[in-house]
Amino acid sequence: MNIILLGPPGAGKGTQASKLVADRGMVQLSTGDMLRAAVKAGTPTGAKAKAIMEAGELVSDEIVSGIIGEALDALPPESGAIFDGYPRTEAQALSLDGLLADRGRTLDHVIELDVDEDALVERITGRFTCAKCGAGYHDHFIQPKAAGVCDVCGSTEFKRRPDDNEETVRTRMAEYRAKTAPILPLYEARGLVERVDGMASMEEVASAISAILAD
Ligand code: ADP
């Protein structure tokens, strides 16, 4: 099974993808994570992407479709893929069709997380993760049980994404509205789109997604 999680920044795509990985053994293909890894490793792709990401703009379609193609090649044929943060433009959606077809894969579901944009800025600007294991927290919603100590691995180091500030978040939302939301009709025409209320609790969103995948 191959699925796309679609929704504006902060809608909870990454959180839900991690749950699907844990519960169903699917593989999460997050272009955001891959690009951040490239920036950290200082690769040529990372060098090109860094300033664009910090501004909240979109990295070129060629770069992201290239890294998705490589990630698909590394994926065992029996593993299902969760596309998280990709495709983000019509050109990427068309590239994905080709990448999947070349590998004998089909797209089964496009799940749109429907959210209230005003709530997203608060969600995003408050979020932080454990620097060691990546567990996610939030200034107002999910603090570690013991202040300053990761619940999962005990690390005392945390980090925030450089693009999670209000100004960049507004640009990311505008990019979503202008370039990503317009790809929904492509998938709607194929009867692939299902909407989930992304403002519900994490567990409720997860069970709504499970119900869609069980169909
Ligand atoms: P979010 O969904 O929270 O905005 P991501 O981690 O998916 O965050 O992406 C972070 C940044 O990485 C984006 O703002 C953009 O600069 C870049 N990026 C990620 N995926 C893509 C993509 N498919 N196309 C273009 N740029 C991308």
What does the pLDDT look like over 72-82, one tens digit per residue? Answer: 999 999 999 99
Q: What are phi and psi of 189, to 5 degrees?
A: -60, -25
Give the whole-angstrom CA distance, residue 190 versus residue 170.
31
pTM (2 d.p.) = 0.91
pLDDT single digits (tens) 4-60: 999 999 899 999 999 999 999 999 999 999 999 999 999 999 999 999 999 999 999
Atom of ligand 1 nearest to the CA of 124: 3
Show the ligand 1 pocket: residues with CB < 6 angstroms: 9-10, 31-32, 35, 52-53, 56-59, 64, 85-86, 88, 92, 163, 172
